[in-house]
Structure 1
């Protein structure tokens, strides 16, 4: 079977690896350049299905993350005032580490079963009753081409053009807040901050939002003390129509971004304002902002799809292209891995696409509801009923 995977980030790579393992010819088409892909890389949670997929198909003996820990809520003096467990087995890592593992595995073996091309902009995806045709253009040369496939995997992200083609008016909706993000290598922090932040997940509520920090391997995968890094994410409520929003999402060249201003593109004055806000945080968090050299900011958007199977089962929506979550649970990557593992069961005759789609929809609905509830708690300190069992209500605060 010939398969075209539209989207070469983690969702696309999960599916490409599974399909290649099953003996299919896989062609991955990614819109972004390698540089642009990496400029938006961030920390992430490798959930249980990610770990299962890596164990089954890659069999990596090299650790690629750090076990998740309690989320500890601290005050401005650094005193822990509450904590709650992760929602599932977690492994804290980075996008770049996983991407390199997956892509190397996909292309590293001596085989012609897989190709991976960047800067390929997919246009129309059509179905003639037998095959699906994928039209695309090389962004560098302007040359257009068409690939014909028995199966197309739409893994082209939250702003999927393929989803928009089969589910009109399905663009993600802004949820009312943004996230500022960055990473700081361990050696750049003072000893007191390193000691406070190491091997822990912290949350501090701040004006209009909250900030998180967690400890992950270095981008080359090192877990050695002194070689790892700290990831931080600051969630801030912000009106999409405000002057601040417009300024924050206009880059150094004057380009207005819809979702993310990538690393290296943020206006210096925008970052200076954010660092000034950081002075109100406790010292370790303030130092994280001070020592961050390449921050980026994203508008948080969400979208769920009512179905994931189209064109008689020859077009499948996966990952963020299928359901885009608020990031509080870190479940987006796990969703894609879950779908890839489920697709393997379908292709091996152990399940069918009806069951696969039902599981995808149910997973998305549950994850969105729980993630939104966690977000409410993180912003307000008030415990929604849906997560009251995971957080001790008598210790929550506003």
Structure 2
């Protein structure tokens, strides 16, 4: 008679448990956290309007949010999740119907856009049917993430869910429009609005929402993401020794909507850049030219700034040859001296793809900093 052998060490049972766990992981939905951003106004007040989530289609970054959030913010500024939050802005917003909008993104946010639009999970039926408990995921003003527990109370079968908070003391507030509805770490919808009387949130299912986004993006021509649509352009005639830089990132919101950082490399009719940073230094990143170019100096033009005391008082200059986040190298740090409103910083010729200006304060030590134009030289 055959006797059954036992495993006194318990390794067989452990192996079987491990296999079951691995099999369960294969059957479980893939957990992918979408990158989100807070939508604010383009001014020092930075009023919190709503939320958006970010996805790229080809080389271009897009912000997907309720259409009414786009309209209320006028030209939305974006504060992407993370500490400190990265800044960006939107352009060319399109209304896809059903209070769903999509817009192109520029600024530092565009380089950290999250997952591809075509990789967003659409198969959510099982999650919605089984998981009545969910969370609304949003971004705070400091870049941290907030999660509000909610319960799914209705699925109309036509692409809309309705949710309510699990605790009456934590209501769904108006500024949460655009938040993501999450179940087990998977995005299943986007909050469109909240009923002020009953506190019930209306959510667009992610499969229905992304079907509209997919159709729109597939009809869009592929463009150069480095060029901010709607940004003022430089004059065609440039000095022989001047490059044609472009602002690609900034660390502080403008003082007003028309005083944006993009104006620093814009046409002559754009007003000077002005900002009231919450922290110093304030940084401006420039694409030096088309590809890698040689840079030997920076011209800071403050002509047209009403208060000369608001001009930058000190600058640190960094260059980046590779374009990678760790590719920055310090070049010089100087106190600025202006002659007829213009300051120049010269250094040995260097090859660069990107150039960063770190301003540690205004000349008068005040809270507001302003500058009309920035020019790169290659003398």
User: What is the TM-score normalised by the length of structure 1?
Assistant: 0.22
TM-score (norm: length of structure 2)? 0.23
Based on CA coordinates, which of the two structures has the bigger radius of gyration?
Answer: 2
Instruction: Answer 1 or 2: which has greater strand percent.
Output: 2
Structure number with the higher helix fraction is: 1
